Amino acid sequence: MSDLTDAIERTRRHWTDRPTEHGTIEGLQAAAQAAPGVRSLLEVLSEDRLALLVEPKRATVSRGTINPHLDLGAVARECEAAGACAISVVTERELSGGTIDDLRAARAVATIPVIARDLVVDLRQVYELRAAGADALLVPARVFADEFEEDHGTQDGRATSSQLIALAHQLGMEFLFSIGTEEELAFAVDTDADALNIDNRAERGNIDVERTFELLAEVPLGWPVISESIATVDEVAKLHRAGVDGLLLDEGHTETGLANALAIYADLTLDA
């Protein structure tokens, strides 16, 4: 598997060379318009209780293949019954083995918001993901490193973050940035994105929840915040008291199962 930077560049090349699934931009627009109505993730995050989101994965960079036969429909149904407020479906293929069919399978059975997590670099992707049923997009801020790193400028012909966010909003979707550094945070809050996902997992796989506490102190008021990857049960209450609006449970719960983890966290007394 390649690292994230290589995957982003390969994704750009793929979309530069690739014909769209529906043939024309008009076909994509029509398919997106015909998709089921959007469910708001922001409404979920604004509720008084701590929102518990799940993200099943086929594979990761640090752990390799986890579950090559993952049935997203079955997992979505099971996790919603166990109390999940939303499900994040990885549609990125190169690093995580996801597909847009996974998104369709989850959306077909879930009544909660379904988030598409991908390296979104092209406007056609936004249309395709909405057509497949995505209610929101979750995109690593690093995809747009050329917009905020020194000595870099946005390259001609590339879709900018503002263009992608604007199209997502036009189609009724919400847009979230996944961040892990102060630089990425500063970039994200200067856009029209709707929420932040602070990823506590390093590329080598270890989890450091202190990343959420450190970055949360710099988040402007009014921004909904999700904390991703939790190492221990004790951290759940601490993160809730610190002010996060949601937790994203991921492959770290493979051994116990996402549904079991949901049941444990939902039963916790989260005193503010």
Name the domain count of the chain.
1
The whole domain housing 22 covers: 4-266
The rounded percent of the chain whose pLDDT value lies above 70 is 88
Give the model confidence (pLDDT) of 189-199 as tens digits. Answer: 999 999 999 99
Full-model pTM: 0.91
- The pLDDT confidence band at residue 1, using thresholds 50, 70 and 90, is very low
Per-residue model confidence (pLDDT) at position 252: 56
The sign one gets for the Cα dihedral 153, 156, 158, 163 is positive
Question: Does 271 fall in a domain?
Answer: no
Distance CA 235, CA 148 (A): 32
Distance CA 143, CA 194 (A): 17
Question: Does 35 fall in a domain?
Answer: yes
Report CA-CA distances (Å) from 54 to 67, 88, 95. Answer: 15, 6, 18
CATH of the domain at 32: 3.20.20.70
- Residues 169, 170, 176, CA angle at the centre, nearest 5°? 15
Give the model confidence (pLDDT) of 119-163 as tens digits. Answer: 999 999 999 999 999 999 999 999 999 998 655 555 667 899 999
Question: Does 272 fall in a domain?
Answer: no
Measure CA 86 to chain center. 11
**What residues contact 27, with CB distance under 8 A and at least 6 apart?**
20
Distance CA 137, CA 165 (A): 9
Distance CA 100, CA 18 (A): 15
Question: Does 201 fall in a domain?
Answer: yes
Per-residue model confidence (pLDDT) at position 134: 98
Question: Does 91 fall in a domain?
Answer: yes
